Amino acid sequence: MAKISILLDTDIFIDYFNLGRFHALFDSSRFTLYYSVMTKKELLTKQGLRDNERASILDELARCRLVPLSDSITARYSDLRRRHPSLEKADALIAATALIKRLPLMTRNKRHFRLIDGLTLFGE
Protein backbone atom coordinates (compact mmCIF):
# COMPACT_ATOMS: atom_id res chain seq x y z
CA MET A 1 0.00 0.00 0.00
CA ALA A 2 1.32 3.47 -0.90
CA LYS A 3 2.20 5.84 1.91
CA ILE A 4 0.04 8.88 2.50
CA SER A 5 1.98 12.15 2.58
CA ILE A 6 0.66 14.95 4.82
CA LEU A 7 1.94 18.36 5.89
CA LEU A 8 1.25 18.88 9.58
CA ASP A 9 0.28 22.25 11.00
CA THR A 10 1.95 23.31 14.23
CA ASP A 11 -1.20 22.67 16.26
CA ILE A 12 -1.10 18.95 15.42
CA PHE A 13 2.39 18.67 16.92
CA ILE A 14 1.32 20.68 19.98
CA ASP A 15 -1.65 18.37 20.62
CA TYR A 16 0.58 15.35 20.13
CA PHE A 17 3.15 16.61 22.66
CA ASN A 18 0.75 18.11 25.21
CA LEU A 19 -2.33 15.89 24.99
CA GLY A 20 -1.09 12.64 23.47
CA ARG A 21 -3.43 13.03 20.50
CA PHE A 22 -2.66 11.77 17.00
CA HIS A 23 -0.49 8.81 18.09
CA ALA A 24 -1.98 6.70 15.30
CA LEU A 25 -0.72 9.25 12.81
CA PHE A 26 2.76 9.66 14.27
CA ASP A 27 3.29 5.97 15.04
CA SER A 28 1.99 4.52 11.77
CA SER A 29 4.21 3.49 8.90
CA ARG A 30 1.31 4.34 6.52
CA PHE A 31 2.10 8.07 6.63
CA THR A 32 4.98 10.25 5.54
CA LEU A 33 4.76 13.34 7.72
CA TYR A 34 6.11 16.69 6.59
CA TYR A 35 6.43 20.01 8.39
CA SER A 36 7.22 23.58 7.42
CA VAL A 37 10.18 25.61 8.62
CA MET A 38 7.55 27.81 10.30
CA THR A 39 6.30 24.87 12.36
CA LYS A 40 9.85 24.14 13.52
CA LYS A 41 10.31 27.80 14.46
CA GLU A 42 6.99 27.94 16.32
CA LEU A 43 7.71 24.76 18.27
CA LEU A 44 11.27 25.62 19.26
CA THR A 45 10.77 29.28 20.18
CA LYS A 46 7.95 28.72 22.66
CA GLN A 47 8.61 30.81 25.73
CA GLY A 48 9.59 28.77 28.78
CA LEU A 49 10.59 25.70 26.77
CA ARG A 50 12.82 23.44 28.90
CA ASP A 51 15.86 21.63 27.51
CA ASN A 52 14.20 18.21 27.80
CA GLU A 53 11.12 19.52 25.94
CA ARG A 54 13.33 20.96 23.20
CA ALA A 55 15.11 17.60 22.90
CA SER A 56 11.79 15.75 22.64
CA ILE A 57 10.59 18.12 19.94
CA LEU A 58 13.80 17.71 17.96
CA ASP A 59 13.60 13.91 18.29
CA GLU A 60 10.06 13.87 16.94
CA LEU A 61 10.86 16.29 14.14
CA ALA A 62 13.74 14.03 13.12
CA ARG A 63 11.16 11.30 12.41
CA CYS A 64 9.35 13.63 10.01
CA ARG A 65 10.51 15.47 6.90
CA LEU A 66 11.30 19.16 6.90
CA VAL A 67 10.22 21.05 3.80
CA PRO A 68 12.97 23.64 3.31
CA LEU A 69 12.15 27.16 2.26
CA SER A 70 12.45 27.66 -1.48
CA ASP A 71 11.97 30.48 -3.95
CA SER A 72 8.67 28.97 -5.09
CA ILE A 73 7.37 28.72 -1.51
CA THR A 74 8.33 32.32 -0.73
CA ALA A 75 6.70 33.51 -3.98
CA ARG A 76 3.47 31.67 -3.12
CA TYR A 77 3.66 33.04 0.43
CA SER A 78 3.87 36.59 -0.95
CA ASP A 79 0.93 35.91 -3.25
CA LEU A 80 -1.17 34.55 -0.35
CA ARG A 81 -0.36 37.55 1.85
CA ARG A 82 -1.36 39.92 -0.96
CA ARG A 83 -4.62 38.07 -1.70
CA HIS A 84 -5.55 37.44 1.95
CA PRO A 85 -4.21 40.30 4.11
CA SER A 86 -5.97 38.93 7.21
CA LEU A 87 -4.10 35.62 6.94
CA GLU A 88 -1.45 35.34 9.65
CA LYS A 89 2.12 35.23 8.38
CA ALA A 90 2.79 31.79 9.88
CA ASP A 91 -0.40 30.35 8.38
CA ALA A 92 0.44 31.87 4.99
CA LEU A 93 3.87 30.23 5.00
CA ILE A 94 2.47 26.85 6.04
CA ALA A 95 -0.26 27.10 3.39
CA ALA A 96 2.29 28.11 0.73
CA THR A 97 4.39 25.08 1.65
CA ALA A 98 1.41 22.75 1.29
CA LEU A 99 0.39 24.27 -2.03
CA ILE A 100 3.85 24.20 -3.61
CA LYS A 101 4.61 20.67 -2.43
CA ARG A 102 1.06 19.52 -3.31
CA LEU A 103 0.52 18.11 0.16
CA PRO A 104 -2.76 18.04 2.06
CA LEU A 105 -2.57 20.05 5.27
CA MET A 106 -3.66 18.51 8.55
CA THR A 107 -4.78 21.17 11.00
CA ARG A 108 -7.23 21.74 13.81
CA ASN A 109 -7.67 25.30 12.57
CA LYS A 110 -9.47 24.82 9.28
CA ARG A 111 -11.04 28.26 9.61
CA HIS A 112 -7.56 29.82 9.28
CA PHE A 113 -7.03 28.16 5.90
CA ARG A 114 -10.48 27.61 4.38
CA LEU A 115 -10.37 30.65 2.11
CA ILE A 116 -7.27 29.46 0.25
CA ASP A 117 -8.12 28.01 -3.15
CA GLY A 118 -6.49 24.69 -4.02
CA LEU A 119 -5.51 23.79 -0.46
CA THR A 120 -6.68 20.36 0.71
CA LEU A 121 -7.43 20.31 4.45
CA PHE A 122 -7.74 17.46 6.93
CA GLY A 123 -8.61 17.86 10.57
CA GLU A 124 -11.24 19.41 12.77
pTM of the model: 0.92
Please tell me the distance from the alpha carbon of residue 10 to that of residue 122, in angstroms, as a whole number. 13
For the residues of 12-61, what is the DSSP string, one character each?
HHHHHHHH-TTHHHHH-TTEEEEEEHHHHHHHHT-TT--HHHHHHHHHHH
Identity of the amino acid at 17: F
Q: How confident is the model at residue 122 (pLDDT cuts 50, 70, 90)?
A: confident
pLDDT above 60 for 124 = no
Residues 93, 9, 38, CA angle at the centre, nearest 5°? Answer: 40
Structural domain spans, the chain: 4-123
Give the architecture-level CATH label for domain 4-123.
3-Layer(aba) Sandwich (3.40)
- CB–CB of 3/32 below 8 Å? yes
Average pLDDT of span 98-102: 97
pLDDT at res. 1:
65
pLDDT in tens, 38-94: 999 999 998 999 999 999 999 999 999 999 999 999 999 999 999 999 999 999 999
